[in-house]
Amino acid sequence: MSKVCQITGKKTIVGNKVSHSNHKTKRTFMPNLHIKKFFIAEENKWITLKVSTSALRTINKIGINEALKRGRELGLIKR
């Protein structure tokens, strides 16, 4: 499974772990993803999405239909 949010497009990024002696080694920063089910009233069905916690806040603010529209515009949701 890919580690990409289906609403915001957040994905894994690469950076440096810096020790106390300022020694740098590569590391990855993972997005905080959750698999959630949402009910779409217009279509009378459930949909499962992999979303970040910031996307959950966005869905609460603008609604699931608008969030799905934005995800489709970014090409992150098929259908």
CB atoms within 10 A of CB 5: 24
Can you say whether residue 13 is alpha, beta or left, with left for phi > 0 and alpha for psi between -120 and 50 degrees?
Answer: beta
Q: What is the pLDDT of residues 3-12, one digit of tens each?
A: 999 999 999 9
Q: Hey, what domains does the chain have and what are their CATH numbers?
A: 13-73 (2.30.170.40)
Are 52 and 5 spatial neighbours (Cβ–Cβ below 8 Å)? yes
Provide the whole-model pTM. Answer: 0.84
Q: What tokens appear for 41 in the block?
A: 């009233």
pLDDT of residue 59: 96
Confidence of residue 64 (pLDDT cuts 50, 70, 90): very high
Q: Among 57, 60, 65, which Cα is nearest to 41's?
A: 65
Backbone angles phi and psi of 41, in degrees to 5: -70, -40
Using N-to-C axis directions, what is the helix angle for 64-73 and 53-62, rounded to 10°? Answer: 120
